[in-house]
Structure formats: C-alpha cells, structure tokens
A and B are shown apart, each in its own frame.
Chain A
C-alpha cells in the first residue's frame, strides 16, 4: 500500500533522510520508532505530499507522491504531530468543517468514527481548545478519518497524552485496522512498538531495522540483566566500569546491563556491586524489548562508519 524507494531529503546543511526504502502492506499497522529528530516527521510529510523528496520516489496506494499529490490528498487521513485543529471552533464544527472539505458529511461516515467520536460527543459544543489532551487526540483522529481514508498517517499521536488515553488510542487503531485501513504511526515511545504488526526503527535519517517486534527482539544477541540498588546514580557508572560490561542504560527504575559475552551471571554482578558498597541490590535476567534493541543498534551505529552492510545481512 505504501512504497518508499530510496528517499533522501536535506534541509540546508542537515540531511534529514538518507536513502530510505520501506514497504508497507495493505491493512498493516506499521510503527515508525525513533527519537526526536530521527526524521519521522519528514518522512511522513513526504508521504502526505507536503514535502518534496530530494531524490527517490514513493507511492501511496499506487499513486506517486509528487505527481499525483492531489489524488493522494483525497484518499489519505493525516494527523500532524502538533494538535492542528481550530481551537476556536467547537468539536462538532471542526468535524463538520473537515467533512465538507473532503466533500462528505458527518452523517455519511458516522459509523466509521462512531466508537471514537462517541467518547467526545457529550462535549460536542465545547471549543476544541478547551479539551483535554486525550480528547483533542480523539477529535483529531475523528477528523482524519471523516472521509474514510484508505491510508492513515499519524505523526506521534500519543505524545503528551496520559497513559490511559494512550492505551485507549492504540485499541482504537487496532479496531481501525480491522476495517482494512493501512496505518503508519510514529512514536518516540518504545513500549508502543509491541502493539504494531511491524516496526521500522529510525535514527539519524536511516532505518536501522524493519521487522515485527517479536522478530526484532528475538534476534537480540546478548542476555539482559536488570539491576537496581539504593544508589541508582552511582550504579550505572559502577556497572560500566565492570570488566565484562558491554553496556548499561537506565530504563525507568532499573539499569539494563549486557555483558561482553553471555556468561555474565546476575549473581556475579551482585558480588561485584556489593564490593562497590551498594545496598539492596537486585539483579535478574529479563527478556529484551525493543528499547534494548534500539539502544544496541544506536550504539553500534555510532561505531560503524557505514551501517548499511550489516543491516542488510540481518534482513
């Protein structure tokens, strides 16, 4: 449904996208995972025909993003990264406006957005600017869906939204997927990656990995030990000084540790840390998740001058 072919894009001195290629199937819920400034928004804007690529080409539903931009705009739904509805218009006015812009009406496609709109309908007379973050996001999604798009492009829809609303939002996306809408969604939250069919990890304008979340994590080479102690601040530094340490990153309340080989045991770390005057030490094996993979890819990416070769081997 979406085909991206060697797309590159630069802004003055900085190269935002470096020869990105990606293919997304019909009805797929595809995640674009990466930190701020990785190039997610640029890629989505190119797909939404809002920016022109410097080189390469892309098709949305078989339509070229440069030449057939007008047709694409009719068939796709887009939710930009920033809340971009009219704050001084009410919920209902916003929805009706966008419906008419796409040549349809609220009533005509009510069934598609019913479940989402239902939750904000009690507030339909309220100005969009006075809605809470979660409600704004539901309204924006309703507006993006009002013309029954075949493809939905969502740029960081869950940024700045509370945990409950985030979860609800992903449930809504799953339901939309059942209605055969192809969805490309970007997020800086690694934990949301597991909810996608496939994810593309993006960093510095390059794709590091494209696969299903389980395949990506299962290929993680090392074992991960999660560690905590009373002095978290010193813990990372001490772990990195450990002679068999490869990496140690803070993950919420824990530090995720990987050794240079898979022979580092949790008990070995406990003894070492006790020697460094740490108290209440916990250390145990855990399954790697997307974020572990990402941290590893990022750190190896920096070491490699050209990261292309290895990634293609993996794929």
Chain B
C-alpha cells in the first residue's frame, strides 16, 4: 500500500512538472469544448442577404423589415434589377436573395396569393437549407399574424415540438459528445504515453527489477489520471452549463458515476495501448488515429448512427463513446435515472473489465 502511495505521488510530480502534460490535460479540453461549441452550429445568425423588392409597398417593406430584424439575417444590398443576382452569388457576398413580385401587397389582399422568391447559394447545401427554411418560417409567421381571419385553403398544419431541446440548440448535441471525446482522448492518450515514456527513458527497466507488481504499476498509473479526468468532467459540465446553457436535468451524482466508469474504461484502454506500443510516438499515433477519429465519426456524436450503412452501424457497437453519449444525453437532457440506461452502463462496465484483464495479463514482468 505504501508502495502504491509513493508511486501515485511520483506520478503527480510527473504530471504537474511537465508543461505539455498539463496542456493536454487541461488546455485541450477547454479549448476543444469552446471551439466545438462555437463551430458546430445548426443555427444561423447575421447571414448576409440581398433583397430585390419590385413592389415596395407597405406589406413588402414590412415583411423585409421583419426578416432583417430577426437577427438571423443582415441586409447586404438592395438590388435594382434581376440582372445582378448571378454576379452577386458568384462574388459570394450574400447567401440568399429575396425577391418580391410586383404589387405584392395588393395581390395578397385581392387574390390571397402573392409570390416571393427565395434564391439561395447552395454551394453549401446545409447552409442553403437552413437559410431558406428560416426565411419561410418568418414569412409564414407574418402572414398568419397579419391576417388571423384569413381562411387559407384547407390544409393540415403540424404543430411541431422539439422535445428535450425546445429551441433546437446545437450545444445540446455537442456538449455530451465533446465530453465523451475529450475524456476518451485525454485518458487513453495520457496513460499510454506515460507508460511508454517509462519504457523509452529506461525507468521501466528499474521498475521491473524492483518488487513492484504489475497491478501496482497499472493502478498507480490509472488513479492519478482518473482523478484529474473527473476534475475535467466537472469543468466540461460547468462550462456547458455556464457558457452554452446546457442543463443537467437528471441526477448529477449519477452523471458523475457514469463519467467515472467511462474514464476508467478509457484509462484501461490506454494501458492496453501501452502494452502494445513501444514508444511514445506509436502510443500517441494509436490513441489519436485509432480512437479519436472513430469516436468522432461512429459514436453518433455528429452523424446519426441510424443513417449509417449497416456495416458501420455494426462498428459503432464497439465504440465505447457511443454508449457513453447515449447515457449522458439521457441524464443531462432527458433527466432519466439508471433504469433507462442500465444496458449501456453494463456494456461500459464489461468493456472496462475486458480491457483491464487483458492489460494485466499482457503487462510484461520482463523486458521482452
């Protein structure tokens, strides 16, 4: 026990005295979270648009003002003719052109039908879809409010409600995902590097020649990083709440317990990597390429698993992050308890046990 204690103390010295380690441990998670938070967005704001208003009556002007004051759009130019449209898109200065036809207000009054044309720059299809649907939304909203008595032709109007994320905030998607990604990366990367570093500098030879047992070395390596990663998880949840307004609807304690389970799993995976890798470089390569990319792509963090080809869906089953993301989304957004996520929890537990038993077994008590 005393051996383990001093081993852990030594590990903390290594961590706190190495600037690079500290950066990876605390710098990367926070920057990554902030970067993902501001970059991955399905919301739009201040998109430059141009308007070609051929009628310039009360209705069209009011509608324009409504669109521009929504905060989503920003007027770049008022066009005088249809000829400029092609060029303005080629220049790329605007993402959308809104065209009102002649006598827009009058037609609407008289015939109940008036045309407004939306032309979007679809070189970025995602953007184009978002921009046109936002605009359509504003226009429809305006019409119904202006003419509450207007009997539109018979139609079914769906009342859409976005459950658990009423405002469709993308932060709700990326905060759990980023948390899984960061914890996975930092934990697996740091343990695998710290063990291979001992191999590289030759200190592993001295450790092996000592009475230390493999279990003591492994636990001594895992425990310090577990503590620091839990601290990291706190920071992520805190930033998610404070900066991006992501709530924790469910039990915070359950969330943390699940997080500790996931971190332990990632740390054991790191140990497993270090039993294969001989140098820090190889360990880093395996951790980054073999863990980070599949975690981003196949875990359901960004791309929905249901839309993947069947083969990739199978692959996603062996991604530990997939289960963790399901778990924390359930706890943070839906506020459910363990009864709804016991399956995922068991799978993570099983993975942890698998990795640790392989690691202990593969950990060499000699140099070869």
Interface residues of A (CB under 8 A from B): 45, 48-52, 69-70, 73-74, 76, 78, 80, 82-89, 93, 96-98, 100-103, 143
Interface pair B366/A49, CB less than 8 Å apart: yes
User: How many Å lie between the Cα of A52 and that of B368 in the bound state?
Assistant: 8
With A51-B368, A84-B203, A86-B203 in contact, is A101–B209 under 8 Å at CB? no
User: How many Å lie between the Cα of A277 and that of B61 in the bound state?
Assistant: 112
26 sample A-B contacts, Cβ–Cβ < 8 Å, listed by A number? A49-B209, A51-B367, A51-B368, A52-B368, A70-B211, A73-B209, A74-B211, A78-B206, A80-B202, A80-B209, A82-B202, A89-B10, A96-B6, A97-B6, A97-B9, A97-B10, A98-B206, A100-B3, A100-B5, A101-B3, A101-B207, A101-B211, A101-B212, A102-B211, A103-B2, A143-B206
Chain B nearest Cβ from A54, distance in angstroms: 12
User: How many Å lie between the Cα of A97 and that of B207 in the bound state?
Assistant: 11
Interface pair B202/A101, CB less than 8 Å apart: no
Residues from chain B with Cβ under 8 Å of A74 in the complex: 211
Chain B nearest Cβ from A134, distance in angstroms: 19
B90 within 8 A of A: no
B57 within 8 A of A: no
Instruction: Kindly report which residue of chain B lies nearest to residue A48, judged by CB atoms.
Output: B209
B7 within 8 A of A: yes
With A51-B367, A96-B6 in contact, is A87–B210 under 8 Å at CB? no
Interface pair B209/A78, CB less than 8 Å apart: yes
Contact of A50 among B10, B209, B212 (CB under 8 A): B209
Contact with A along B197-224 (1 / 0, CB 8 A): 0000111011111111000000000000
Interface residues of B in 267-285 (CB under 8 A from A): none
Interface size class of B (residues with CB under 8 A): 20 to 34
Residues from chain B with Cβ under 8 Å of A101 in the complex: 3, 6-7, 207, 210-212
User: How many Å lie between the Cα of A88 and that of B5 in the bound state?
Assistant: 18
A49, A100, A102: residue with the most chain B Cβ atoms closer than 10 Å: A100
Instruction: Kindly report which residue of chain B lies nearest to residue A94, judged by CB atoms.
Output: B10
Instruction: Kindly report which residue of chain A lies nearest to residue B368, judged by CB atoms.
Output: A51
Contact with A along B1-35 (1 / 0, CB 8 A): 01101110110011001100000000000000000
Interface pair B3/A103, CB less than 8 Å apart: yes
Interface pair A88/B18, CB less than 8 Å apart: yes
Interface pair A84/B202, CB less than 8 Å apart: yes
B231 within 8 A of A: no
Q: Contacts A73-B210, A84-B203, A102-B211 given; 7 further ones with Cβ under 8 A? A: A50-B208, A76-B209, A80-B205, A85-B203, A85-B206, A101-B7, A102-B210
User: How many Å lie between the Cα of A102 and that of B2 in the bound state?
Assistant: 10
User: How many Å lie between the Cα of A52 and that of B367 in the bound state?
Assistant: 9
User: How many Å lie between the Cα of A82 and that of B208 in the bound state?
Assistant: 15
User: How many Å lie between the Cα of A180 and that of B18 in the bound state?
Assistant: 41
Chain B nearest Cβ from A77, distance in angstroms: 9
User: How many Å lie between the Cα of A209 and that of B60 in the bound state?
Assistant: 106
User: How many Å lie between the Cα of A140 and that of B18 in the bound state?
Assistant: 22
User: How many Å lie between the Cα of A52 and that of B366 in the bound state?
Assistant: 8
Interface residues of B (CB under 8 A from A): 2-3, 5-7, 9-10, 13-14, 17-18, 201-203, 205-212, 365-368
With A85-B206, A101-B3, A101-B7 in contact, is A51–B211 under 8 Å at CB? no
B6, B14, B211: residue with the most chain A Cβ atoms closer than 10 Å: B211
Residues from chain B with Cβ under 8 Å of A50 in the complex: 205, 208-209, 366-367
Interface pair B2/A84, CB less than 8 Å apart: no
Residues from chain B with Cβ under 8 Å of A89 in the complex: 10, 13-14
User: How many Å lie between the Cα of A89 and that of B366 in the bound state?
Assistant: 25
Chain A nearest Cβ from B210, distance in angstroms: 5
Residues from chain A with Cβ under 8 Å of B6 in the complex: 96-97, 100-101
Residues from chain A with Cβ under 8 Å of B13 in the complex: 86, 88-89, 93
User: How many Å lie between the Cα of A82 and that of B199 in the bound state?
Assistant: 12
User: How many Å lie between the Cα of A255 and that of B97 in the bound state?
Assistant: 94
B3, B6, B10, B201: residue with the most chain A Cβ atoms closer than 10 Å: B10
Contact of A86 among B10, B208, B212 (CB under 8 A): B10
Residues from chain B with Cβ under 8 Å of A83 in the complex: 202
Chain A nearest Cβ from B326, distance in angstroms: 40
Residues from chain B with Cβ under 8 Å of A52 in the complex: 366, 368
Residues from chain A with Cβ under 8 Å of B202 in the complex: 80, 82-84
Residues from chain B with Cβ under 8 Å of A69 in the complex: 365-366
User: How many Å lie between the Cα of A73 and that of B214 in the bound state?
Assistant: 14
Instruction: Kindly report which residue of chain A lies nearest to residue B203, judged by CB atoms.
Output: A84
Residues from chain A with Cβ under 8 Å of B5 in the complex: 100
Residues from chain B with Cβ under 8 Å of A85 in the complex: 203, 206
